[in-house]
Amino acid sequence: MSLNDDTQKKTDESFINIGELHKKDLEIARAEVAKHEFEKSEKSQKKYAWIVLSILVLANISSLWQRSLIAVAYSLKPDDGIIDNKMYMSQAIPNFGIKKYSLLAGAAFTMVFATTVLFSGLLADKVSRKWLLCLAAMLWSCTSIASGLSAVYWQLCLFRILLAVFEACLSPTAYSLIADFFPPEKRTVANSVFSVGLYLGSAMANLSINFIKAFGWRGTYILAGCFGIAVSIAGILVIREPPRGVYQPKKIVEEEEEREAELEAKGEKQTKDDDPEPQNATNPNASIVPAQP
């Protein structure tokens, strides 16, 4: 080999080494960018999960507020024989005595709710939870508005029963969404935050005494219904249906097993490439000795 050929070979090897170095630097840079994008995506996903949870809390507030509103509206009684159909629900609805109120506030709602919630749970496993929740919130809010426009007892009873039917869709869908938006280590906190909506809804029902004094019992029902419709619209615009079972242990274990299998396959391939040529490959009469790992 001539001197020029030797020099050209070294030059080519130098360019190859430089090219490999640049390639490694490029791969490292791409890995860093991918890591940054993943962390950024993870942070944005966490923020989005809390935004969804806030809408679920508002839906919970709306549900309990409208459910408990009848107790506050009926409890207001006139003094000194004053008749005011705008202020007092018991006067505005003919023959609305304590027995009819007990049936309406108790059994008519509770029995229907307890029965419907079983079927709503099955439905939440089959259809889009986002649309089930948002449409249910829209419909239960419409029943409250209709209750505020009721003139006779049977109308009030009908809308109360429909309120129970639609509100039964809230808890199954909400807890299912929370399970797919929050990992197990964050889920307890998320469920606790969602439960806060119950107490805030009860507080809104108690504050409704002031609303009734300002707008009347019918106006307060319409106000509570409009609040629920606004929450429903916010859910339609913001919530995206997540894939089911993202954080299920079974799915995580399967993914880990697949990853470990891939690593083992790569390790076995690397071991075969690094092993020296077996002894029996050069000496056919030699005994077969298993390769040491």
Within a domain: 204? yes
Instruction: Quote the pLDDT of residue 135.
Output: 96
Query: CB-side exposure of 91: number of CA atoms within 13 Å?
Result: 14
pLDDT digits (tens, 9 = 90+) for 281-290: 444 444 444 4
| Weakest-pLDDT range from 80-94, 113-127, 236-250 | 80-94
Phi, psi of 291 (to 5 degrees): -70, 135
Cα–Cα distance measured from residue 141 to residue 147, given in angstroms and rounded to the nearest whole number: 10
The values of phi and psi at residue 77, to 5°, are -120, 145
Kindly indicate the confidence band of residue 277, based on its pLDDT and cuts at 50, 70 and 90: low
Q: Can you give the pLDDT at residue 220?
A: 95
Whole-number percent of the chain with pLDDT over 70: 72
Amino acid at 45: Q
Q: Using CA atoms, how far apart are residues 244 and 256, in angstroms rounded to an integer?
A: 18
To which residue do tokens 């919970």 refer? 60
Residue 11's pLDDT is 53
Give pLDDT, residue 281. Answer: 44
Which of 45-54, 153-162, 196-205, 239-248 is predicted least confidently? 239-248
pLDDT at 291: 45
Please name which of 161, 168, 169, 167 lies closest in space to residue 109, comparing C-alpha atoms: 161
Domain hosting 108: range is: 38-238
- The answer to whether residue 261 is domain-embedded is no
Q: 28-85: per-residue pLDDT in tens?
A: 655 555 445 545 567 778 889 999 999 999 999 999 999 999 999 998 877 766 777 7
Between residues 84 and 271, which one has the greater pLDDT?
A: 84
Residue 266 lies inside a defined structural domain of this protein:
no
Higher pLDDT pick, 8 / 166: 166
Percent of the chain with pLDDT over 90: 51
pLDDT at 17 over 60: no
Q: How many domains does the chain have?
A: 1
Assess whether pLDDT exceeds 60 at residue 103: yes
Please determine, for residue 275, whether its predicted confidence score (pLDDT) is greater than 60: no
Contacts of 196 (CB under 8 A, 6+ apart): 57, 60
pLDDT of residue 32: 57
> Where residue 165 falls among pLDDT bands split at 50, 70, 90?
very high
For residues 221 and 175, what is the distance between their CA atoms, to the nearest angstrom? Answer: 27
Does residue 278 lie within any of the structural domains? no
- Per the CB < 8 A criterion, the answer to whether 195 and 189 are in contact is no
CATH number at residue 45: 1.20.1250.20
Residues 6+ apart with CB under 8 A from 100: 153
| Per-residue confidence band for 15, with pLDDT thresholds at 50, 70 and 90 | very low
Indicate whether 141 belongs to any domain.
yes
Q: Flag whether 270 is in a domain.
A: no
- Residue 183's pLDDT is what? 87
Residue 274 lies in a domain: no
Residue 15 forms part of a structural domain:
no
